[in-house]
Structure 1
Amino acid sequence: MNQECTRKLQTATRDKLRKFNRLRGREVQPGEFWDVVVVTAVDGSQREAYELQIREKVDRRELPLGIQYKVFSDPPGSKIGNGGSTLYALQQLNDIYGKTLDKLRVILIHAGGFSQRLPSASALGKIFMALPLGDPIYQMLELKLAMYVDFPSQMKPGVLVTCADDIELYSIAEEEGVKFDKPGFTALAHPSPLSVGTTHGVFVLDPHEKSSHSEMENTSCLCFLHKPSVDKMRESGAVCERRCGLFSLSDTEFVYTDSTYYVDMDTAKSLLKLLKELGPLDCEIDAYGDFLQALGPKATIEYTNNTANVTKEESSLVEIRQKIFHLLKGTPLNVILLNNSKFYHIGTTSEYLCHLTEDAALRRELGLLSSTFSVNENSEDSSGYCVMYSVLDPSCSVGAGSVVEYSSLAAGVSVGRGSIVSGCWVSPGLSVPDGAFIHSLCVNHQHRTMFVTVFFGINDNLKRSVDAPAYMEKLKFFGLSMTECLSHWKMENKDLRFSGDSSSCSLWNACLFPVCSDQQSSFSLSLRMLDAVLSDSAMPLPKGTELMSMQECLQCKNLEEMLKLRKGLYDAIRQRRPSN
């Protein structure tokens, strides 16, 4: 990206942040902002966590006031995907607002799921991940609302659908506006390398529509491809050649990939009819692949049988996809090409570390800082780390490429390179090794408030599941087999318990982490276990130590206590640092 394009992107992004900051903490006027902000949750427990945090944000005047904030959870039972969540959210909106819904502009943010690839966001939600900017500090919710701050005034009644773990930045000419005023679906599209297209949705545009060679173009889409191969992109005519009007990409060839889309209210109401026809859902529906692939004049029913990208295939999936196809067939798919734009995904530990500590472009564009809303006297000589919402003794050191959030680090504490320390209270003199993920949670255990500190390698795969008893060798924890790890803690294979479905064994449901009475000792004991594994030494667990899995921690998490601990940090930081 050339310097002029970068400057435009940076200027446009800062303008949006300024506009949103002016709305924070005050009553917004009709038409000035969204009428309803909806966040989806995977279950009732997650919904309560989200509602609690949004209430606190409103009370602290960190969000625009005078609008409706709603959290809708998926119904109990089968996983239904973000497509199923969209349908149920529309149903709940209709139940609440009735005919008034026809006049409302709604943003629907998908934030359900357990965030297994970024477990620091599992307990309180990835939509509440902290970001190193703003005062009060931004979380993903504020950033999503800030980046779309111009949309409501340019939008007819309808629903804007987006996800909680991505960031879209764009610039357009001063006289232009991103308008959502056409019937059907209207999607934002970003120029991307072909390699990115294989993991996203790709738009096949009408070659006969004349290009304006500007930062933003409005066009129509012939059909939509979901995670296509490069060959499929070429065969379908999705591959474009770079031209002078394209600002944000240097590749000779590129495709336009998806992010956020708008549905006008008439089309949203037709999706409601679909839910009534389908009845209770028993499979995962994709709000992108299963809805958008049905749109455009060249859409065919073939995709309904392609289950290559499905996590868990259910027998009803193909039939449900076919019903979606027939309902939406002929619905327009309008596309807004944002030629000077960037799409960032922050859904994994490695992406999180990269974007918050290493990605110089994003740091410039968003104005990200090395230390935000923290007591950290070493912030000025930062070596590429990120500290947020934390209190660090002046004698602490944090290695390059590491993130410390919602934590208190005492004298002499050191954090290695490329690590994540989240929600921890670290005693004096302790050292966190390189490449470690360490996160403390508060749990209800045997009618008491207790603490569990989970620890993984940054690149460990928590989602990978193997059958018993193969897990002993196939599950890798910091690169070692489970048998090797247990031997360091003087445990036998038979001592290892798995929560939930014990025939399916993963790092997610492996009961490896000690339950302690306070936050400090919880961190210290878990760190000693980790050090024993990494130093090839023995560390027998104290007699009577109970162990829990990450899965169990979430099932019995103590939300109020976790938020109370954050409130204590908030007050300590406010008292010890001058307000901006």
Structure 2
Amino acid sequence: MPAAGGRSAARREATAGRLARFAALRGKAAPPGEFWDVVAVTAADAEQALAYRQQLSEKLGRKELPLGVRYHVFVDPPGPKIGNGGSTLHVLQCLEDLYGDKWTSFIVLLIHSGGYSQRLPNASALGKIFTALPFGEPVYQMLELKLAMYIDFPRQMKPGVLVTCSDDIELYSTEAAEAIRFDMPGFTALAHPSDLAVGTTHGVFVLDPCSFSGEGGLEYTSCQRFLHKPDIETMRQCGAVRVRGNCAQPSSSGDHSDSEKGSECVYTDSIFYFDHSIAERLLTFYKQMGTLCCEIDAYGDFLQALGPGATQDYIENTSNVTREVAQLAQVRQKLYSLLKGTLLNVIVLNNSKFYHIGTTQEYLFHFTSDSKLKFELDLLSVAFSSSPDKAEALNQSVSIIQSILDPGCSVGPGSVIEYSRIGPQVSVGRSSIISGSYINLKVDIPSDCFLSSLSVKTDGQVKYVSMVFSVEDDLKKSVKLLSEIHSLQFFGVSLPECLNLWGIEVSDLLFSSENKGLGLWTARIFPVCCSLSESVRMSLKMLNSVQHRSAFKLDGFKLFSVEEMLAYKDVEDMLKFRKQIYDEIHLQRQV
């Protein structure tokens, strides 16, 4: 294997080749057997599904995607959340309903994008799979990148389903003669060498030492057992920890020097495939279950049942479950019985990296620092934008994506601007995210600021709301009682103190949803305005009042929570704003 720097350079070269092959296919029909028969994207509800379908339609109209593919958006059934495992089962049902027996010959890419992106809220309105990336003309989004990175898979795949998520990126290189084949019975998963700490938040493979050498760029082996988000002690006890450079040998003890500890690794999961015989078994199970009333994890609840070393220990373990439901253990038991004894084949990609960009911190780090992802994907500081790029203000680690920045504005290092117009008297601080906004006033936006604007339709009219937070704020945190909301923090200040500054009364009407708890996500604090620029101005004034502890009353405004902003979002108007920016930049480049 080449040295670390050489491995990263090899991944960069291989990635560039895949992107070039995908670029040649955009707007064209792929030859039979060369691309996916179906690309299915999951959505959590009807509003999200509508947004996804509109964006897919626009992409196809602009010839940004390969043609001749059946692109589908499948919305989860109404009722309790069913998790990405439940969504997988539901998609199988939808495909059978649409195509009958014909679908059993399809090669399907299934992308899970049904979350609300509470940890990266600029992706909440239009979806994580449509997150913009800082390269390409027009800029690539996660969907195009997924299709590009998997471009070689379909021709080496038997009919079946490849499952992936919408906020991760897998980059890899193999030898020229090595092909990644998905043609084995049962399940087949990709595996990536990772530090032990990474293993605690992912799935970890206990590989068969008899069929695994740990050498070369690509290796086919079998998995004895799959561990879901295990602690380090469990990884060691199960033989999952290996020594880099001699990965076939399990590392048996935790008693190592610091340098030796650094050479340890585990093999973690990313995407997985199952053939059509498995799809049929899963579909039969789903039909027998009727309605699912609990969240099933496609990784934890499918893969933990596989391999000769699988045990039932996980069935009662709910430490990694967001919401425990009485039915969950029963469903897990049935899945275990259904899948027990099924092979879990593993394709080890020794020169690969798994990147996650599902949080504000990951997003800022990978797009603006000298990260390996930035190098390997050749991410740009200014991507398809109009900006004073020669100005000193932009000669820093920034990421400007399809935006128009007027001369005179400044953007601090480590900040990302996407789909926005920034006026000449605007100063953006460090490590901030500005999305979908029009800022045309004289203002200093503080560091660590998250600002995202949405078009909403209320009372039959298009209005605008801008959410503003700290990039450190926890939008997933919630409490059950009004008396507990003092534990919620907005830009480092307790929520009740902020509400007092804004003249908002603490009452049962303050929060838009009891189901999702009382938190920043459901707090009705953002004013609905008649123009995009006015909504930005008002939200920044709210933030300024908190930072300076000065009153700024929101009397007379209709107030929305983030939850309501998403429920009332006007996708068409948001896409129209993006298109105006696109057309203006495109026109400038023609001159």
Range into which the TM-score falls when normalised by the shorter chain? over 0.9
- Who is 1:8 aligned against? 10
CA distance in 2, matches of 1:483, 1:284: 33
- Shift in Å, 1:536: 2.1
Classify the secondary structure of the residue corresponding to 2:210.
Answer: coil
State whether structure 2 residue 557 is matched by structure 1 residue 545. Answer: yes
CA distance in 1, matches of 2:97, 2:529: 45
CA distance in 1, matches of 2:80, 2:507: 31
What letter is aligned with 1:136?
P
- Who is 1:317 aligned against? 328
- Who is 1:291 aligned against? 302
1:224 to 223, 226, 229: 226
Task: Tell me which moved more, 79-88 or 484-493.
Answer: 484-493
Classify the secondary structure of the residue corresponding to 2:456.
Answer: strand
- Who is 2:292 aligned against? 281
Structure 2 runs not aligned, ≥5 long: 249-259
- Who is 2:160 aligned against? 158
Classify the secondary structure of the residue corresponding to 2:346.
Answer: strand
Change beyond 3 A, Cα 1:468–1:210 = closer
- Shift in Å, 1:56: 0.2
- Who is 2:495 aligned against? 482
Change beyond 3 A, Cα 1:495–1:504 = closer
CA distance in 2, matches of 1:495, 1:313: 26
CA distance in 2, matches of 1:383, 1:282: 50
Classify the secondary structure of the residue corresponding to 1:291.
Answer: helix
CA distance in 2, matches of 1:295, 1:578: 56
- Shift in Å, 1:305: 0.8
- Shift in Å, 1:496: 6.7
Classify the secondary structure of the residue corresponding to 2:282.
Answer: helix
| 1:471–1:506 contact (8 Å) kept in structure 2 | no
Residues 274-328 of structure 1 show CA distances to partners (whole Å, capped at 9, x for unaligned) of 1011111010000000000000011111211111110001110000000000000
- Who is 1:253 aligned against? 264
- Shift in Å, 1:416: 0.6
State whether structure 2 residue 379 is matched by structure 1 residue 377. Answer: no
- Who is 1:428 aligned against? 441
CA distance in 2, matches of 1:491, 1:331: 57
- Who is 2:253 aligned against? none
CA distance in 2, matches of 1:472, 1:226: 33
- Who is 1:240 aligned against? 242
| 1:241–1:253 contact (8 Å) kept in structure 2 | yes
Structure 1 residues 30-179: aligned runs within 5 Å: 30-179=32-181
Classify the secondary structure of the residue corresponding to 1:577.
Answer: helix
CA distance in 2, matches of 1:311, 1:38: 25
What letter is aligned with 1:548?
F
CA distance in 1, matches of 2:368, 2:582: 23
Identity across the alignment (%): 53
- Who is 1:202 aligned against? 204
Change beyond 3 A, Cα 1:73–1:492 = closer
Task: Tell me which moved more, 509-518 or 357-366.
Answer: 357-366
| 1:370–1:379 contact (8 Å) kept in structure 2 | no
CA distance in 2, matches of 1:265, 1:562: 39
2:356 to 322, 345, 350: 345
- Shift in Å, 1:250: 9.5
State whether structure 2 residue 537 is matched by structure 1 residue 524. Answer: yes
CA distance in 2, matches of 1:491, 1:67: 51
CA distance in 1, matches of 2:272, 2:372: 25
| 2:214–2:245 contact (8 Å) kept in structure 1 | no
- Who is 1:213 aligned against? 215
2:430 to 417, 430, 442: 417
| 1:468–1:503 contact (8 Å) kept in structure 2 | no
| 1:496–1:510 contact (8 Å) kept in structure 2 | no
Give aligned pairs, total.
576
- Shift in Å, 1:57: 0.1
Change beyond 3 A, Cα 1:307–1:5 = same
| 2:516–2:522 contact (8 Å) kept in structure 1 | no
State whether structure 2 residue 571 is matched by structure 1 residue 569. Answer: no
CA distance in 2, matches of 1:82, 1:540: 42
Task: Tell me which moved more, 491-500 or 290-299.
Answer: 491-500
- Shift in Å, 1:429: 1.9
Change beyond 3 A, Cα 1:572–1:503 = closer
CA distance in 2, matches of 1:548, 1:71: 28
CA distance in 2, matches of 1:319, 1:263: 23
| 1:214–1:245 contact (8 Å) kept in structure 2 | no
Change beyond 3 A, Cα 1:39–1:250 = farther
- Shift in Å, 1:3: 2.1
Classify the secondary structure of the residue corresponding to 1:15.
Answer: helix
Change beyond 3 A, Cα 1:83–1:503 = closer
- Shift in Å, 1:544: 1.0
Structure 1 runs not aligned, ≥5 long: none
State whether structure 2 residue 475 is matched by structure 1 residue 473. Answer: no
- Who is 2:379 aligned against? 368
- Who is 1:27 aligned against? 29
What letter is aligned with 2:181?
K
State whether structure 2 residue 447 is matched by structure 1 residue 447. Answer: no
- Shift in Å, 1:472: 3.5
1:505 to 489, 494, 518: 518
Classify the secondary structure of the residue corresponding to 2:585.
Answer: helix
Structure 1 vs Structure 2 CA RMSD: 1.7
CA distance in 1, matches of 2:512, 2:17: 48
| 2:212–2:219 contact (8 Å) kept in structure 1 | no
Residues 448-474 of structure 1 show CA distances to partners (whole Å, capped at 9, x for unaligned) of 211101111101111111122234311
What letter is aligned with 1:101?
W
CA distance in 2, matches of 1:76, 1:494: 29
Classify the secondary structure of the residue corresponding to 2:325.
Answer: coil
| 1:422–1:440 contact (8 Å) kept in structure 2 | yes
Change beyond 3 A, Cα 1:379–1:388 = farther
Residues 390-427 of structure 1 show CA distances to partners (whole Å, capped at 9, x for unaligned) of 11102111111111001111112111101110000001
CA distance in 1, matches of 2:567, 2:212: 54
- Shift in Å, 1:578: 4.2
| 2:485–2:518 contact (8 Å) kept in structure 1 | no
CA distance in 1, matches of 2:361, 2:516: 29
Change beyond 3 A, Cα 1:24–1:496 = same
What letter is aligned with 1:264?
D
- Who is 2:251 aligned against? none
2:366 to 330, 350, 355: 355
2:416 to 403, 413, 418: 403
- Who is 2:567 aligned against? 555
| 2:120–2:360 contact (8 Å) kept in structure 1 | yes
Residues 19-54 of structure 1 show CA distances to partners (whole Å, capped at 9, x for unaligned) of 111111112111121111110101111111101100
